[in-house]
């Protein structure tokens, strides 16, 4: 198998030998699409992670725009002088049984947003239908006005076919996270009354384990010949006991019914083969490591607050702390007349 990494979108193409008689030398498999994630919170409560798969094969420019806005790798915008980054932006529109919309990181109300290309960019693939829930689509103000705003479908939307570019789909977190947004109460303009925030976002990359270098078959016999040659250089005094020991071991192995090949085969079977990590296990491990990182940051913050309050001087007697000017004491105006 041959792997080719091409393009900015890190797509991996695999090539396999074609079957005999087909007239082809290689068969190309579909590219591995990029995956990005959003970590959402409703108010101050974390609700989980949503993972998207981007269709960079049918909408490469749109998928690259969304991917770069997830990583924030483009830095500050030359137009708005704001980071080209979805982090800390909000879901500004939510319609039950229809869609949720976000991506306005400049004005946060649905009237802003900006692409990595400096302005709006044209539509790409309008042939893919909006035929199911969990599709990732570009929001626009008309033909060829794509920026940074997007929406996720909560059902099929056939009336939007040919009007919005479908450039991805939710592959994890739809039932656990996205459906919770529809339960958040909204005002008369479909704006959530509790902020739905993208607290973190980025790109997931498949990690491949490095394969251990295997010895060639030509090296193994040469090593055996070298070891046998070194053994032959021993003295005659040591050779006789060694022969007796080898005959005794051979006799014991024959009595047990195990030949040298069988013993070698059993030793090979004892060595565990390295297991490749699947994509699902890799995604779960990334999510677990991110959760551990957040918990560690929270623990450090709590320790900092604890040290801060421990260093604060103790309160006065009776648990009352006097601050500023004046006395914290009630004065009865009938007993204390003005002089």
Whether 160 is catalytic is yes
Which among 203, 151, 156 is positioned nearest to 178, based on CA atoms?
A: 151
Whether 76 is catalytic is no
| Cα separation, 94 vs 184, whole angstroms | 8
In this structure, the number of other CB atoms found within 10 A of the CB of residue 139 comes to 21
Whether 121 is catalytic is no
Q: Point out the catalytic residue in the list 101, 146, 149, 200.
A: 101
| Cα separation, 180 vs 165, whole angstroms | 25
Sign of the CA dihedral 225, 226, 227, 229?
A: positive
Whether 151 is catalytic is yes
CA distances to 273, 291, 299, 300, 314 from 305, in Å = 48, 21, 10, 9, 16
| Cα separation, 118 vs 3, whole angstroms | 34
Q: Point out the catalytic residue in the list 49, 93, 128, 169.
A: 93
Q: Point out the catalytic residue in the list 13, 96, 140, 291.
A: 140
| Contact by Cβ (8 Å): 199, 40 | yes
In this structure, the number of other CB atoms found within 10 A of the CB of residue 137 comes to 23
| Cα separation, 34 vs 53, whole angstroms | 6
Q: Point out the catalytic residue in the list 160, 206, 286, 294.
A: 160
Identify the DSSP state of 74: T
Q: Point out the catalytic residue in the list 33, 49, 92, 164.
A: 164
Beta pairing class for 135-138 and 150-153:
antiparallel
Q: Point out the catalytic residue in the list 98, 121, 206, 291.
A: 98
Whether 194 is catalytic is no
| Cα separation, 169 vs 66, whole angstroms | 12
Whether 155 is catalytic is no
Whether 164 is catalytic is yes
Q: Point out the catalytic residue in the list 105, 151, 167, 181.
A: 151
Active site residues: 93, 98, 101, 140, 151, 160, 164
């Amino acid at each position: 198998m041959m792997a080719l990494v091409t393009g900015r979108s890190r797509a991996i193409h695999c090539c396999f030998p074609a079957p005999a008689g087909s007239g082809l030398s290689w068969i190309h498999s579909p590219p591995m699409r990029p995956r990005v994630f959003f970590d959402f919170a409703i108010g101050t409560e974390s609700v989980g992670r949503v993972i998207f798969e981007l269709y960079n094969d049918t909408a490469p420019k749109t998928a690259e725009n969304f991917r770069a806005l997830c990583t924030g790798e483009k830095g500050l915008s030359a137009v708005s002088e704001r980071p080209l980054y979805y982090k800390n932006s909000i879901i500004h529109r939510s319609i039950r049984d229809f869609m949720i919309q976000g991506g306005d990181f400049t004005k946060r109300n649905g009237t802003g947003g900006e692409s990595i290309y400096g302005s709006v960019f044209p539509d790409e693939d309008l042939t893919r239908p909006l035929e199911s829930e969990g599709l990732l689509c570009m929001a626009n103000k008309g033909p060829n006005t794509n920026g940074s705003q997007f929406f996720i479908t909560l059902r099929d939307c056939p009336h939007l076919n040919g009007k919005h570019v479908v450039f991805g789909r939710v592959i994890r977190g739809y039932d656990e996270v996205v459906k919770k947004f529809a339960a958040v109460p909204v005002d008369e303009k479909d704006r959530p009354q509790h902020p739905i925030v993208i607290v973190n976002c980025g790109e997931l990359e498949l990690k491949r384990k490095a394969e251990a270098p295997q010895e060639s078959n030509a090296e193994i016999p040469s090593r055996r010949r070298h070891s046998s040659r070194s053994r032959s250089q021993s003295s005659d005094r040591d050779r006789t006991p060694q022969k007796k020991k080898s005959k005794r071991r051979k006799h014991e192995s024959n009595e047990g019914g195990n030949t040298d090949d069988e013993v070698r085969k059993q030793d090979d079977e004892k060595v565990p083969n390295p297991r490749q990590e699947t994509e699902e296990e890799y995604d779960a491990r990334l999510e677990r490591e991110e959760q551990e990182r957040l918990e560690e940051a929270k623990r450090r913050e709590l320790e900092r607050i604890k040290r801060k309050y421990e260093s604060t001087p103790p309160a006065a007697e009776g648990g009352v702390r006097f601050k500023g000017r004046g006395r914290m004491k009630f004065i009865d105006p009938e007993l204390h007349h003005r002089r």
